[in-house]
Amino acid sequence: MSTVYRVLDFFEKKGVVIKTRVMNNEMAVYELNRFKHKHYAVCMNCHKIIAMDNCPMEKFIPELEEDDFHVMGHNLEVFGLCKDCYSE
C-alpha cells in the first residue's frame, strides 16, 4: 500500500473523505466529505471515471422490513462506455 493510500485510508476513517468502490472493488474513488455526495459513471473499457451532477436516488426512500433501520446513505454504480470507447 502506497503512502497516498495510507493517508486516504486515514482520512476515510476520520470521515474527511468518502471512499466509493467501483468495478467490483477493483478501484476506489476518494472525494471530500461534503453534504451533497456524488455518484460516478465508470467506462467499462478504459475505466475512466466521470462524476454525475445529480443523484437519481435523492428522493428514494427504501422500504425496509426493519422499522428501526436508519438509512444514512447509498451507493450507486453506473457503468457504460465513454465517448472515446463508444464507436458505432
Q: Which residues bind Zn ion (CB under 5 A)?
A: 43, 45-46, 48, 55, 57, 82, 85
Closest approach of Zn ion to the CB of residue 87, in Å: 10
Residue 45 has which C-alpha cell?
473499457
**With respect to Zn ion, which residue has the nearer C-beta, 14 or 59?**
59
- Residues 41, 27: Cα–Cα separation, whole Å: 13
Residue (8 or 82) nearer to Zn ion, CB: 82
> Distance between CA atoms of 28 and 62, rounded to whole angstroms?
25
Q: Within a 10 A sphere around the Cβ of 81, how many other Cβ atoms?
A: 15
- Residue 5 or 60 with smaller CB distance to Zn ion: 60
